[in-house]
Structure 1
Amino acid sequence: MQYEVRALSPDNQIVALVIDAQDERDARAQVEARGLHATRLAPVRSFRRAAGGRGGISLVLFSQELLALLLAGLSIVEGLEALLEREGGARLRVVLERLLAGLREGKRFSSLLAEQSDVFPPLYVGIVRAAEGTSDLPRALSRYVDYQARIDTVRNKLVSAAIYPSILLVVGGGVSAFLIAFVVPRFATIYEGTGRALPWMSQVLLDWGKFASSHGLPLLAGALGAGIAITAAVRATIAKVGLVSLLGRVPVLGPHLRIYQLSRLYLTLGMLLEGGIPIVAAMETASGTVSPGLREGLMRARAAVQSGDALSSAFQSEGLTTPISLRMLRVGERSGEMGTMLTQSAAFYDGEISRWIDRFTRMFEPLLMSAIGLIVGTIVVLLYMPIFDLAESLS
């Protein structure tokens, strides 16, 4: 297990380092053995996938910098040494030092990457391993950067499309809660002194407002508890079946998310095949980039291909194709350019997903604004209906 350590050196300098230890006691003993006094010692948190990387280390940025150095004529060892000299992050420095130590011992670069699976995913290790067979590491790094850029383009479109509706929901919910908890009780106090019968819908709203005002803390605690419980249930479900599979059960989103998953699968397989990785090994590597539901079908298709079936037939039998992608796969089998056809299929569906996101956003945002306006407007109208009745009686 790894521990992040902040320690005080004998000359009163603060030192930051990452060490491998069995437990906290072992880590503290290692720090003291170096003549340091640990002021902070905490285990490194489990690495979460960042944009194109893991554990806060961007594989895209790492690949771009290493690619630039290799294209400038530096060897892999010289390139990693150059990166180490300018790197200030403790985590990446540890990774680079391990890679350099292994290369100086004569180990293969891909094997060293595989030893640090918490940083380098199997997909990255696979393309580097294939590049070692052709002695063309720069091309493999360039291919990975392009691949991640295309994945991030679609993902960023999805995130951007969800930001504005989320803001609308938060603002609309906040305005509605303010009206009910603060404004409605004051109107209720005014109407109680008139001694007049109120319209039943207005009376219901006023009763609810008075209840929310007098039981504000219990309602807030209940809402927070329900939110925490729902969040925990959603996280457990996502951990079990995956976020994409969960959203795929929504009738409107399901078909389009399936296209998104297939597009990512085709793009991954295409990149691996163009890098020289055999189809069976490529399918095994690509299984780590798709949802659990799609992974099962991919593994069955892999077994079918391993037994001699064509890729297009195996994918079709497992529901991993669409009419267009099936035709393109068959063309790739006839021409021997399967990697290119898979990449072109992914590009076709990426464009289709982007167009659907734009159409959905243009349609959904006005509908959401109308719904929020209708809710707020209904509350306001119900508050003023007794005033309208009073004005009619006076006239």
Structure 2
Amino acid sequence: MPSRELVAFTQQLATLLEAGLPVDRVLGIQEELTPNPRLRTIAGDVLRTVRGGSLLGEALAKHHPRPFSRLYINMVRAGERGGVLEPTLRRLAEFLEEAQEFRDTLVSALIYPSLLACVGGAAVIFLMTFVIPRFADIFRDLGSTIPWPTQVLLSLSAWLRQYWWALAGAGLAIALALRIWMATAAGRLQADGFLIRLPVLGLVIVQTEVARFARITGTLLRSGVPMLSALGVVKDMMGNQVIARAVESLAEGARRGSGLSKPMEDTRAFPPLAVHMVRVGEETGRIEEMLLKVGATFEADTRKLVKRLIALVEPCIILAMGLVVGFIVVAMLMAILSITDIPF
């Protein structure tokens, strides 16, 4: 289910409840008006469960993890316990919308360089498999000696045409082996550890995970969810297992009464700025507010970092494609000039 439809569903739920309508009537309206067939079916099922005497959080939990995550269900349950369901749903809708906008920003930033790399790679493959072999036939018929760069190019082209299946098979085998390896807990942990150690990409991943951790934890705490329950929810929502292990250590530290900032510092998985901001929040008694500020700060930093990374990647892709195509053109030109006895 698209995230935007879940955001719209939550916003409408909050708006109708704020208008004073009972939960069952709100769900009935949602079942009637929701355009997504699956979400409409879920709204009807939740409505029947609520009319059967269950609370909204319990009814939503029947549809975990799709489309309702543990974050969603825990916030609804906390709002029901505290008698503040309407503002809790409003905060939840705002959180989901901000998270969607953040994902959209990252995806849109990656579209152009990805498209550039795909088009450039397709152009090179077309030249190597369709254009160059035609010149190879011409050179073979003429029987003249061709320069070594052209010989290398023709040999590579012939190899690609003859053994493309082996190259494709090897690529698929490697991809399948990596997928199987990363499906294991140890493999996923090692792969995630390798990714966060990469020079620039690793920083992007860490900042994205820290922003997610801080924003989700702050939103849950503000909604009345206890710290240990909030950290349990956050651990399951981390995309990187190294950070997830660190969050698990935070839960153990909080269980011992160590607070949040000290375990964060001990794990060495969180940037110093995040640790200091959380420590300030603990000292001033505004931990929820400070966690949300940490999330906003690191999301903004991630956007800036991604823009700089894209600005660096784009010319590198163009340069690489230019060098490859340039080598092809020069190699073919050298062969043509050698055939015509024009000095190069």
Task: Compare the two structures and name the one with the higher strand fraction.
Answer: 1
Distance of aligned partners of 1:343 and 1:211 in 2 relative to their CA distance in 1, 3 Å threshold: closer
**Counterpart AA for 2:108:** S
User: Could you tell me how far apart the structure 1 residues matched to 2:333 and 2:39 are?
Assistant: 63
Shift in alpha-carbon separation, 1:156–1:89, aligned structure 2, 3 A = closer
What TM-score do the two structures reach when normalised by structure 1? 0.79
Quickly say closer, same or farther: Cα 1:365–1:264, change in 2 above 3 A: same
Code of the residue aligned with 1:209 in structure 2: it is S
Which of 224, 236, 241 pairs up with 2:168? Answer: 224
Give the root-mean-square deviation of aligned CA atoms.
Answer: 2.3
Structure 2 residue runs without a partner (length 5+):
none
Cα distance in 2 for partners of 1:282, 1:67 equals: 22
CA distance, structure 2, for counterparts of residue 394 and residue 266 of structure 1 = 67
* Counterpart for residue 233 of structure 1: 177
User: Is 1:114 paired with 2:61?
Assistant: yes
Question: Any stretches of 5+ residues in structure 1 without a counterpart?
Answer: 1-49
Q: How many residues align?
A: 338
1:262–1:320 contact (8 Å) kept in structure 2: no
- Percentage of pairs with the same residue: 31
Name the residue aligned to 1:177.
Answer: 125
Distance 1:256 1:148, change over 3 A: same
Whether contact under 8 Å (2:200, 2:309) holds in the other structure is no
Residue equivalent to 2:285: 336
Q: Which amino acid aligns with 1:203?
A: Q
Describe the SS at the equivalent of 1:193.
Answer: helix
Partner of residue 378, structure 1: 327
Q: 2:10 aligns with which of 63, 67, 70?
A: 63
Cα offset, 1:391, TM superposition: 4.6
Query: Aligned letter for 1:146?
Result: E
TM-score (norm 2): 0.90
| Residue deviations 1:249-307 (CA, integer Å, cap 9, x gap) | 43331122111111110011000111111111111111111132222221122111111
Structure 2 residue aligned with 1:303: 252
Inter-partner Cα distance in structure 2 for 1:232 and 1:334:
49
- In 2 relative to 1, CA 52–195 (structure 1 residues): closer, same or farther, beyond 3 Å? closer
Residue 81 of structure 1 aligns to a residue in which SS? Answer: helix
AA partner of residue 232 (structure 1): L
Q: Is the 8 A contact 1:244 1:257 kept in 2?
A: no
Note the 1:91-240 alignment, pairs <5 A: 91-119=38-66, 120-213=68-161, 215=162, 219-240=163-184
Judge conservation of contact 2:218–2:288 (CA < 8 Å) in 1.
yes
2:142 partner SS: coil
Within 1, Cα distance between the matches of 2:117 and 2:324?
Answer: 12
Q: Which runs of 4+ in 1 moved over 6 A?
A: none
1:370 positional shift: 1.3
Task: For 1:331 and 1:384, locate their aligned partners in 2 and report how far apart those are by CA, in whole Å.
Answer: 67
Which residue is 2:23 aligned to? 76
Aligned AA (1:170): C
Cα distance in structure 2, aligned partners of 1:289 and 1:258: 14
Q: Which has the higher contact order (CA 8 A, sep 6+)?
A: 2
Does the 8 A contact of 1:248 with 1:254 survive in 2? yes
